[in-house]
Structure 1
């Protein structure tokens, strides 16, 4: 058992170490590649280079000073990033290649010293220098540098950045040596004798160490090898694979089994030796600790007696452990009752969520998602249709018998919808109507086969209800909603469609699109305006832009407005944003007057598309104000937390709950916020504060370690010693001695 455990532990630790090292190396390489891209963007805005690109290099003398100054500028870029040690800039108008420290007034001269073996000069010139590139990466290939062969990955970017197909004024080419790419991963090859392979999104090799191209190619083609698996054993190696979400590169490392088993065999020997000693020593230590650790239990019992009292009179003769057992059993019973009540209320909570969604009470998409998760009411998708199913033949609902009959009819129809096999959400609205919602993962599925499935399902339910129970129904569907924030809009369309269907006595399934007609009035309901205001106040720019685009689409694509109506709509939209500016957060912003003037300057006579663009810019400004204010609020909260911890660190009862209570925020909120802003957990920060003060106290001989532990908030000196060594690396006694010696 010890040996098997050793193997499992060694394997898991090796995988964890390999994954960690791969992950860190991946992040380092991505940062370096991002710096390379940033380097090209800096060149794009370089004034000297811009002047050179726009000069006419033919028929006149070369701008020698400009080229010299440009060379001086580019020389400094390679001092901060190893990936920028070797690069060149080609100016097509001068036909010159600029490198750090040199200028080649003919590409042929550069090609003599620096070229790709197997790539002729004309192919290099046409494919690299005279072609437009947009952050392109050429896979790993041999490269000759002053008669020294190496392997490089080539990054190419045309300037200016918005260059189109064809020749561009300038091309920046960065040559990244393979060693610079694989060096961060050398720990895996040097420590275990393994190999590493880095490939781009097309499978072309970017970096290779410890293996050859044939081996990694054979590995990728082997059907027994799963390229998407994090870790797996392949032949004699443990292969770890990580894919970058940013660049699409695949990082793969192989660790020989022999290296893994070497550590396992050492652990096997140690395990057999230590196990016997540990059994004996463990029995002795266990007896001592069992007595010592009973003290906290006695304290817990005392606290519970103070909180709950002695209990029933017959409980006065019970011992402490019987008392503890009885109270814990009572808490468990109450917990089970609460749990059963929550389960019983779950359908009501889901129904309430659905009704709020239909009524448009949610302001943002994040609010809808949070409420859906809290009520466990998944919608299965973001796009779909809302419809209404009305039972016919009950115009007057004036007695109990009719209501009971309608209740039975609704139950039958709901069961028929469930039995249809489609994923549908339902709720009642009135005594004779059922509102239902079909949702799909994407727009293509909803408007294609999804629409056919909805129609087929509803026609089947209507036919079954009439044939088996003689229940006649009218079924209508609203327009397609393309995000869950538009569900209420689709519901309103369904209600309007139902009025038309009932008025025209339609028997077949009726879609909103079948009843639409041209209207001289604009579409800008109050709930849509409130949702737009809510998303801007929350700083959700993308959602606000989507709502504004929906408003414009409703009034341009689905309506033909007169000039007067369009002007009134534009005035309403301007009024909405002027209402937003009345909020305190915007009135205190520096950009308040400028933003207000921009809104007032919008002319109703302009096309709605132009007004939309102008309001998009206004929303971007307002959302930036909200995000800035949120960041300021977060920093104030973090400073309040730090100040409270600094003042109360000596309280052994200081917990996350106490801190949350002090700053008047939820526990989970401050825990996540502190981690996001500071990069460390709140518990780790508290521990570091305590250790800082303990270090100061240890320099004074008057206090014992136990006294210091109590002063910095530890009930147990043993826990304090472990925490101190974990943070500082030495025990309290060693730290005190070194401080005295110093």
Structure 2
């Protein structure tokens, strides 16, 4: 195979390893170089830090003194004597000379205030007068004492100081003709409020030797100060400014760089004043710290040589040792797999190609199975829910084969029925593809919600979504309800889809899943009674429904009579409240069956139809044509829908009755009502008494009242008395007998009979309920 004959072929893994080991040897070499570089920078930084410390102290001391000089110049400018002489012109009077004498004395005081000040001059432009602490002179004499350079003429010098406003430091020469020294002059204009006057210039002279006199640079080092106009303000240990020392090269606020000067390598550290903008520069020979690195450089070279010699030997030994297992593996694999290894090939590439070929075959087989896994899994879950499984195969093995892992023996089933399709419905119809997508979303949401704490399996059954919950913790029926609420909320919030959810009981056996599914179907049937969009738990179904007992519904004759009376007088609110109470009594704690619920609803519609037939003033055909109550009830799917339709018909009927009463009202009916309201407490109040009061026959009064109100006069008298009786019963301070007498009934039995007829219960029970 050529593995031993030519192991160092360039494609062999042996070559790769050799290159890797050699690369590892380069690491300590690289680290040594980095250490050398880092050490160099540390030494350089330490020297630079020392220089910066000296420069910082120099900068702080000079800046403080200059700030003092600037403050002193402001005080001089604000001095009344100094400012008052600005308006003086030639020739000078004796009074003017006396003022000059006082100003000179003041300048002497100011000069003593700062040790850096060599001399103070005040140049008055109007009178061409210059004052100092010793004398007064003219501008030409000042030019000979203080000037910038030998080649600057008097006119150029005077033009510089004749500027309207100036405030700057200027390097100049100071002294008489025999002894001249370098100095710095701080020039500040002292102006008047009148812009036509020339004003004055205050000149404060600072000698170069005083500015850096107290500063001690490092051995063999020099100090220099440059202003922003590249002028050498002051220096120490420097005969003349080098050509490379320019303000433009010192770009940053502080730094370090190297320069060559007459064959000498120099290190320049500098910092910048935030007040004046001057550059403070320290210049030292670079050889001061080069010598410190020579010894370290020798040590690093020796360590590199040792790394190469020792590391190379160790790399060769481990290279041969590590290659032996690879060689044996290649021999074994090529013999057993039948795949030959070409001489000179890369061993890893050979193994990778052989393994990839095996994995590709396995992936193709798995891919074919995965293409049908969802359908197979759904079919298995559907068979599990319906109880149609192969009993020859253990159920646990079937679950494992379909990658369904159970965590306990506690199970429950949730069934989801779509009531409205929301965003998936367009123009009254839903696309089958969108319905399929909606079922997919419901299954995924249900699996995610239930799967947060438990195991969940989902599938689609008979156009409904099913979720099997396998409890990982203690089973809790209320937790199932919370899961259903979360799924309902998510679908409504995101897609406006309404769901009805039925929940089975919790079963503690894997084989009870079909039973749990049947429970959800039974609970889902009860959506007719509970209404759509509800969560129906099998455990909450009524006992008659669960046990198969026949059952019935509650709608007695006296309650029906109450409803008829309310409708006859057009009282929609009380009629609606009575219908809601009837339905609540039947679908409350023990709801009725679906068939009995439909019978109840048709009975209520029948009551409304019978009432309309008794009201001669109401156009029954018109109401029926508009309301069409029978067709509406047949089209309803739930009790809530039926209730809504009945209430809507009731509102139309009551509205029609009320309108007819309003249109047919006459003064006699109103007078009769007022008379009844005033005399209902009289036990002798009857139709005959009312007829005598209005000088009419009892039959005429009764007929006219019934015609214009739709209600019998005697019924109205009883209703008025019952309304007052209910108010008195609510007060709880009178007996039933006393109340009967107060509302006009001498016989307690008559009062009880009429009260129960109108209200459905006896007065005593009504009082107990208050």
Q: What is the TM-score of this pair, normalised by structure 1? A: 0.32
Report which structure shows greater RCO (CA 8 Å, sep ≥6). Answer: 2
Greater Cα radius of gyration, structure 1 or 2: 2
Q: What is the TM-score of this pair, normalised by structure 2? A: 0.31
